[in-house]
Amino acid sequence: MSATIQKIDHLGIAVKSIEAALPYYEKTLGLKCGHIEEVPSQKVRTAFFACGEVHLELLEPTDPESTIAKFIETKGEGIHHIAFATTDITGQLAQAKEAGSRLIHEVPFDGAGGKLVAFLHPKSSFGVLTEFCQPKPEACSGGCSCSH
Ligand code: ZN
């Protein structure tokens, strides 16, 4: 059993509208919105707030068929997932699978913030939708011999 998880990276929070939720996070809590980004693969817009080392990730559906739209429809707005930062997302997924967890994603994909992400199925994580994320290696600026 290897320990590739370093910390909680962020909490994902489903909202109907980022614009409507912004004043709460900015004025009531006094947090600063880092950036807002659309993630087409997940049919969401995301807004990130730094809260110490942990970030809050607001998720607004951009399509009524997105999983976030369906989540809000059945459960209402609120905490959607917990994301753990890992140093080895592929190894962590293999470990979870070996331990008997169902994976939603066998292969990590590009998530918000330039990270590789993958989710475990909530049925095998006791109701908490669990995300693993790993920062991608810095995109190089050219001039080196790598293939990017
Ligand atoms: Zn997330």
pLDDT tens-digit series, residues 53-76: 999 999 999 999 999 999 999 999
pLDDT at residue number 111? 83
Edge-to-edge strand ranges of the sheet holding 54-61:
33-39, 44-51, 54-61, 5-14, 78-86, 130-135, 115-120, 109-110
To which residue do tokens 């950036």 refer? 35
User: In the chain, where are the structural domains located?
Assistant: 5-139
Ligand 1 centroid to 141 CA: how many Å? 27
Ligand 1 centroid to 136 CA: how many Å? 15
pLDDT at residue number 44? 95
pLDDT above 80: residue 47? yes
pLDDT at residue number 138? 58
Ligand 1 centroid to 142 CA: how many Å? 30
The pTM is what?
Answer: 0.85
Q: Distances in Å between the alpha carbon of 52 and those of 46, 70, 83, 92, 101?
A: 19, 30, 15, 25, 30
Ligand 1 centroid to 144 CA: how many Å? 32
Ligand 1 centroid to 27 CA: how many Å? 23
Residues 74-104 pLDDT 10s: 999 999 999 999 999 999 999 999 999 999 9
pLDDT above 70: residue 143? no
**Please, which pLDDT band fits residue 42 given cuts at 50, 70 and 90?**
confident
Residue 67 DSSP symbol: H
Ligand 1 centroid to 36 CA: how many Å? 13
Q: Which CATH superfamily is domain 5-139 in?
A: 2,3-Dihydroxybiphenyl 1,2-Dioxygenase, domain 1 (3.10.180.10)
Ligand 1 centroid to 10 CA: how many Å? 6
Ligand 1 centroid to 143 CA: how many Å? 33
